[in-house]
Chain A
């Protein structure tokens, strides 16, 4: 693969992102690791880990979000009952089939009981890999949750330093924070541009470009983002008579790419979503001066995305992030798309729907699995939704 990527058009950039997306053996990450002796790769699951710390250790943070619809699960089903979502079984498949044999560490964020338990399974099944359940505070006061979180971050920092063979310095951390600040800034810019001109940046493209950030070094990904944004702004694409929607509930197990495409084909421009939240979890730049762990903690407590896996201490705030997203992106409705058997998304859904109802925002809801093969029902629902929104707004 040509590293000095400089395609002028979106098609070339998207093709590369698609190639990375299709590659279930993570060749790009393998090549990165092989390029220099001593390099290490640390995998992480949705929704959020402080990638800065992994990066600061000179390691590649590798986002693992299941196996998608092209991975045949042969072994993974032996570990899970039929009523458990898809992502852990395809993740196990990736592990058991050797596709992750180059990964030196795995972080399992605090998102739900299934991923939590997977952390222990990974310890049992892959004893040579550094596996950690990455807990985050559900208390958002600096002196309580913050203290706890800083200590957790310090433990992670310590462990990864050990894995590397030398401690991670503050300077390294600051440099990494800067790299990710830039990356997040670019992602937010892309999202802002899409909200304005969604026809210029189809949801599936934005998704692929974001997804590339899970397997590429952050610097390379930032370059890709910049190129894509420039190309997308430069190209004129036909505008369709679509309505604008916010997609929510898809923060963990990923919908098939076809599903995202189907939404737009059915008449819904996706102008905001909660896909791949890790790429923009922290909503403001993390300061470079001062204690880096304190800064990361502060950002997590006070400037991070809202999602079902997080406790909302303030009842009045519950679901408001969604209303704000709708307003910010100029959306006309919300589509709840949750993975089957996803406890956080599905338990949260009724509360969010009540908030939307009170705010007069229309919505629909359906479920999917990362390997859903049938898009017809989804196309129909999304199409009907788009039509009804147009009817309302026309009336």
Chain B
């Protein structure tokens, strides 16, 4: 089948979206951007293709018999099993890579000891892997680096102590290896991994054993479908080195505007507050960008500012909003200057101001900056769509609603939980349109 791929290379994460010919989203993928954009694009794209298979499984299984009422449960189990397969595959890759890095003077006398210790560490990791993907298990992140890294450190420390091998050597080997592994997407055959995952589910879940053959047949039929990458469009923050050829690149503003339009076709104004910039975008009824403005050189008031505040307060980023919501008397914060954020915060805390009041003031300050950027781009026209990491922050959203109401009256405000994919979605739609329109929607040159 034809698929249209949009990839958004962000400063911290890379997102991919796959569309079918009807502009329906069939897959999404996300990964950390690393220093290697080509890899990040490949990994995100592959993740989106994996996700696409699940969409197709769902479509096929919903029509076929054998899983009445248990479809969600089955697909969740299948996904966990698939993730486990991927994880185990990458663990093996990591182990091999680690072994390859045991060389040089530092290891002269310790080589065999380190090798043995590594073996034990990886055995433990493999052993506990199914637990990580058990139903209801919580993972701090879905990125291999995060999951493997935290567990590796725990086991390596124990093993090193027990085996009297220097812990830092084990860390050193890991640090050298993880970058390599991370920069190469899992290479194993995807269909095989799906098959192994299916086998795991079928053996563990007795309730569907009777219809196993039927399910297997349906899954195989989906795996037979070729996901043709019909057209790809990439976007990303002004990078000189986006890993796509020129005709496959669209500006992130355009992608973002179109993505917001795809999610909410009546959108006319889009606000995006990302980590390092804030954008105000005006789109027409077709999702075409009519005007836009971004924060000036000064990144005050962008998402990263909240990050500094969280660090300064020793809190998690996601804890800031809820605490700010508790404020009854928001402080007036006059500067959203990132450089002075810490100092101002300490000054205010030392004067006895409440944390929640300061935080509420900070959220308002950020939104005030955003409002000024929207104003530069031409104000707010109904409907209004708010995207980016800060759109997940309830205190920020509350201030935004208030200010929009005060300055622009009753306006529908859309916030999509999947708004992180807005740019990639727009890019994918650009890909679809580019294919559909042939050269006519392409640049005239």
Q: Which residues of A contact B (CB under 8 A)?
A: 69-70, 72-78, 81-83, 369, 371-377
Contacts and interface: CB of A to CB of B under 8 A. Distances in A.
A72 B332 contact: yes
11 contacts: A69-B334, A77-B368, A77-B369, A78-B373, A82-B296, A82-B297, A371-B334, A372-B335, A373-B332, A373-B333, A376-B347
Nearest to A375: B347
Contacts of B297: 82-83
B216 interface: no
Contacts of B346: 376
Given A372-B334, A373-B333, A73 B368 contact: yes
A83 B298 CA distance: 8
A372 B340 CA distance: 11
A288 to B, nearest CB: 46
**Looking at B368, B369, B372, which has the most chain A CB atoms within 10 Å of its CB?**
B372
Contacts of A69: 332, 334
B407 interface: yes
B286 interface: no
B343 A374 contact: yes
Identify whether the interface residues of B are mostly helix, strand, loop, or mixed: helix
B115 interface: no
Interface in B365-411: 368-369, 371-373, 375-376, 403, 407
A254 to B, nearest CB: 14
Interface in B329-351: 332-335, 340, 343-344, 346-348, 350
B81 interface: no
Contacts of A376: 343, 346-347, 350
B372 A373 contact: no
B169 to A, nearest CB: 46
B300 interface: yes
Nearest to B332: A72
Contact of A81 (B296, B343, B348, B369): B296
Contacts of A70: 332
A75 B348 contact: no
Contacts, number: 53
Given A72-B368, A374-B348, 4 more contacts: A74-B368, A82-B300, A373-B335, A374-B343
Nearest to A370: B334
B372 A78 contact: yes
**Looking at A75, A81, A373, A375, which has the most chain B CB atoms within 10 Å of its CB?**
A373
B369 A373 contact: no
Instruction: Give the top 5 A-B pairs by smallest Cβ distance, nearest first.
Output: A82-B298, A77-B372, A78-B375, A371-B334, A78-B372
A75 B344 contact: no
Given A74-B371, A77-B368, A77-B369, A373 B296 contact: no
Contact of B376 (A78, A369, A377): A78
Contacts of A78: 371-373, 375-376
A325 to B, nearest CB: 31
Contact of A377 (B343, B369, B407): B343
Contact of B347 (A73, A75, A76, A373): A373
Contacts of A81: 296
Interface in B299-343: 300, 332-335, 340, 343
Nearest to B340: A374
Contacts of A375: 347
Contacts of B375: 75, 78
Contacts of B343: 374, 376-377
Contacts of B335: 369, 371-373
Given A75-B375, A77-B372, A373 B298 contact: no
A163 to B, nearest CB: 32
B116 to A, nearest CB: 56
Given A72-B332, A83-B298, A373 B348 contact: yes
Contacts of A73: 368
Contacts of A83: 297-298
A373 B350 contact: no
A375 B344 CA distance: 9
Nearest to B369: A77
Contacts of B376: 78
B348 to A, nearest CB: 7
B396 to A, nearest CB: 16
A8 B344 CA distance: 40
A75 B372 contact: yes
Nearest to B377: A78
A129 B149 CA distance: 66
A69 B332 CA distance: 9
A9 B128 CA distance: 80
Contacts of B340: 374
A32 B350 CA distance: 43
B368 A373 contact: no
Contacts of A373: 332-335, 344, 347-348
A74 B407 contact: yes
A86 to B, nearest CB: 9
A372 B334 CA distance: 7
Interface string B405-436: 00100000000000000000000000000000
A78 B370 CA distance: 9
Contact of B344 (A74, A76, A374): A374
Nearest to A89: B372
A77 B298 CA distance: 12
A69 B335 CA distance: 11
A91 B113 CA distance: 72
Nearest to B361: A373
A78 B344 CA distance: 24
Nearest to B344: A374
A369 to B, nearest CB: 7
Contacts of B332: 69-70, 72, 373
Contacts of A372: 334-335
Contacts of B403: 74
A375 B375 CA distance: 32
B81 to A, nearest CB: 51
B371 A369 contact: no
B401 to A, nearest CB: 15
Contacts of B344: 373-374
A74 B335 CA distance: 13
A82 B373 CA distance: 12
**Looking at A74, A76, A83, A372, which has the most chain B CB atoms within 10 Å of its CB?**
A74
A231 to B, nearest CB: 31
Nearest to A77: B372
Contact of A374 (B300, B347, B369, B372): B347
A369 B296 contact: no
A375 B340 CA distance: 12
A395 B343 CA distance: 35
A383 to B, nearest CB: 15
A262 to B, nearest CB: 12
Nearest to B406: A74
A202 B297 CA distance: 41
A80 to B, nearest CB: 9
B85 to A, nearest CB: 50
B334 A369 contact: yes
Contacts of B296: 81-82
Contacts of A371: 334-335
Contacts of B407: 74
A373 B349 CA distance: 12
A237 B224 CA distance: 93
Contacts of B350: 376
Interface in B347-361: 347-348, 350
